[in-house]
Amino acid sequence: MTDERARANLQPLSLHVPEPRFRPGDPVDFADVAVPPVDAARRPDTAADPRSFHELAFGLVRVLELDGTAGGQWNPRLSPDQMRRMLRNMALTRAFDERMFRAQRQGKTSFYMKSLGEEAVSIGAAAALADDDMCFPSYRQQGILLSRGCPLVDMMNQIYSNRGDKLMGRQLPIMYSEKRFGFFSISGNLTTQYPQAVGWAMASAAKGDTRIAATWCGEGSTAEGDFHSACTFASVYRAPVIFNVVNNQWAISSFSGFAGAEATTFAARAIGYGIAGLRVDGNDALAVYAATQWAAERARTNGGPTLIEHFTYRAEGHSTSDDPTQYRSAGEPNAWPLGDPVVRLRDHLIALGEWDEERHAQMDRELAEEVRAAQKEAEKNGVLGHGMHQPFETMFEGVFEQTPWHLKEQQAQMIAERQAAGI
């Protein structure tokens, strides 16, 4: 029976609606963002029981201090050549992004997404994975394709949906698909890649293969059901998969609190599924490398999945269609306490005596020229919106092995209508 009188003194029920700390015009202070020293996180054995290192889901795996020194148990001790390659790939990603962003502003394509400030997440992982491990990325991991040597012209052809676009203009610009480079087709439907990665990983194991899968999604995307069903399957079957959550604080204009960041970390999601969870400084390319290498070894030795949260910051807009000045303080990107991933690796190499400002500037000039030359080449195949780059009737092809009768009918009708209109 309900006792109305007993409840009479209670406050009415209410909901907590998260609110970001800084809005446009607010001064920014990230003093409460904990940045532990590099030796604070221990590195467990890759075969360890996930229950024995829960604290790693709440701390921050770091290798590079902000003064350019490196240390701690997670230091992967890479050679200067390996680190210079990673630095170059991050700088290439930045140069490519810059050029393609401008191409969108010049009306040569309809859409582009930069990864400014998050380059280490892709480049560190690509360096640690085997080249034939299968990647199921989101739309901000262009750095993987660039690391694996995908020709810039091919990527640009896709962005321009031109005659050279192997996807024949059927995907939104930047939603690449590159079987050659172990890069699964990007989907605009957030987080669908998560269960797909688990399925691929399970198939790899079922076939007795040695390749593993890795997948990426943003922190906002962890709110999707697909994220959770992927974690359940991976946990149950100990699938050889690495789950990367790129926590760049924002999901377009929604801050991370709407995906649960006020209550716990994203790495802590792993604990509920009984899988390994690591929270990593996402602006530290060496830490991303080390965590990925650890998770890859675990997966490849049948130790099961790892969930890695990459703590980073989206330094610019969500995409070319976004204007972050409308919803967040302009001071945030510069106040972000984990710095710039390119600068951090550069400073480390300089501190080692393996790099200098002049070589860095020279590298940037070379990369800008490489990207500019590729752009010129790609534009010979046309740009988006300027002409019909693919035979229009091909839009009905390539989905089904045998085109169904109703699509054949629509295709024929379209051809007839265009002929009648004299196009």
Ligand X SMILES: Cc1ncc(C[n+]2csc(CCOP(=O)(O)OP(=O)(O)O)c2C)c(N)n1
Minimal distance, residue 314 CB to Mg ion, in Å: 6
Contact status: 220 vs ligand X (CB under 6 A): yes
Pairwise CA distance, residues 240 & 129, whole Å: 13
Residues 125-154 as x/- pattern, contact with ligand X by CB under 6 A: ---------------x--------------
Residue 399: CB atoms within 10 A of its CB come to: 10
Which of ligand X, Mg ion, none does residue 140 bind to, with CB < 5 to 8 Å depending on kind? ligand X
Pairwise CA distance, residues 267 & 278, whole Å: 6
Contact status: 218 vs Mg ion (CB under 5 A): yes
Q: Which tokens sit at 294?
A: 């650890």
Which of Mg ion, ligand X, none does residue 225 bind to, with CB < 5 to 8 Å depending on kind? none
In the set 221, 265, 292, 375, which binds ligand X (CB under 6 A)? Answer: 221
Residue placing its CB nearer to ligand X in the complex, 254 or 410: 254
Three-class SS string for 390-404?
CCHHHHHCCCCCCCC
Residue placing its CB nearer to ligand X in the complex, 95 or 246: 246
Pairwise CA distance, residues 368 & 93, whole Å: 10
Residue placing its CB nearer to ligand X in the complex, 261 or 351: 261
The DSSP string of 139-160 is TT-HHHHHHTT--HHHHHHHHH
Applying CB under 5 A, which part among 15-23, 236-244, 250-258, 284-292 lies near Mg ion? Answer: 250-258
From residue 213, alpha-carbon distances to 116, 333, 336, 396 in Å are: 25, 32, 31, 31
- How many residues contact ligand X, by CB under 6 A? 16
Would you say 304 and 234 are in contact if contact means Cβ atoms under 8 Å apart?
yes
In the set 90, 251, 299, 308, which binds Mg ion (CB under 5 A)? Answer: 251
Catalytic residue among 62, 279, 318, 348: 318
Pairwise CA distance, residues 42 & 73, whole Å: 6
Pairwise CA distance, residues 100 & 267, whole Å: 32
Contact status: 248 vs Mg ion (CB under 5 A): yes
327 in catalytic set:
yes
Catalytic residue among 148, 238, 314, 346: 314
Residue nearest to ligand X (CB): 218
Pairwise CA distance, residues 173 & 183, whole Å: 16
Contact status: 184 vs ligand X (CB under 6 A): no
Applying CB under 5 A, which part among 33-41, 166-174, 202-210, 212-220 lies near Mg ion? Answer: 212-220
Contact status: 100 vs Mg ion (CB under 5 A): no
Would you say 288 and 282 are in contact if contact means Cβ atoms under 8 Å apart?
yes
228 in catalytic set:
no
Could you say which residues in the range 381-410 bind ligand X, by CB under 6 A? none
Which of Mg ion, ligand X, none does residue 190 bind to, with CB < 5 to 8 Å depending on kind? ligand X
Residues ≥6 apart with Cβ < 8 Å to 238:
302, 303, 304, 305
Burial group, residue 344, by CB count within 10 angstroms (0-12, 13-18, 19+): buried
Contact status: 250 vs ligand X (CB under 6 A): yes
Minimal distance, residue 412 CB to ligand X, in Å: 33
318 in catalytic set:
yes
Contact status: 318 vs ligand X (CB under 6 A): yes
Q: Pseudo-torsion of CA 336, 341, 346, 347, nearest 10°?
A: 30
Catalytic residues: 314, 318, 327
Contacts with Mg ion by CB under 5 A lie at: 218-220, 248, 251
Contacts with ligand X by CB under 6 A lie at: 140, 188-190, 217-221, 246, 248, 250-252, 314, 318
